[in-house]
Amino acid sequence: MKIQFSPEAFDDLLHWVTIGEHRTFRKIHRLITDIQRDPENPGLGKPERLKAPLAGWLSRRITQEDRLVYRIEGDTLLVISARGHY
């Protein structure tokens, strides 16, 4: 499965590395790996389907305040956010 990050999601990843939050960065990596392994099965991070205006997208918990927001299109994992709470 390919992974595609929006510019905002890529900036979010850089943010975690820049401020030295390597633990959070590793958690994001684990979430993405879990999604790639079995996208249909709920796994880490308490997956949740989002409602309008983000209908069709899912989120998984990174930290208490931050979520990974993504969707799967074909064989591509699209990530639009890795910081904040949608």
Give the three-class secondary structure for 42: coil
CA atoms of 13 and 28, how far apart (whole Å): 9
C-alpha to C-alpha distances, 19 to 14, 22, 75, nearest whole angstrom: 9, 9, 32
Query: Which of 8, 15, 21, 48 is an active site residue?
Result: 48
CA atoms of 64 and 67, how far apart (whole Å): 8
State yes or no: is 65 an active-site residue: no
Q: C-alpha 72: how far from its chain's center? A: 11
State yes or no: is 48 an active-site residue: yes
Active site residues: 48, 85
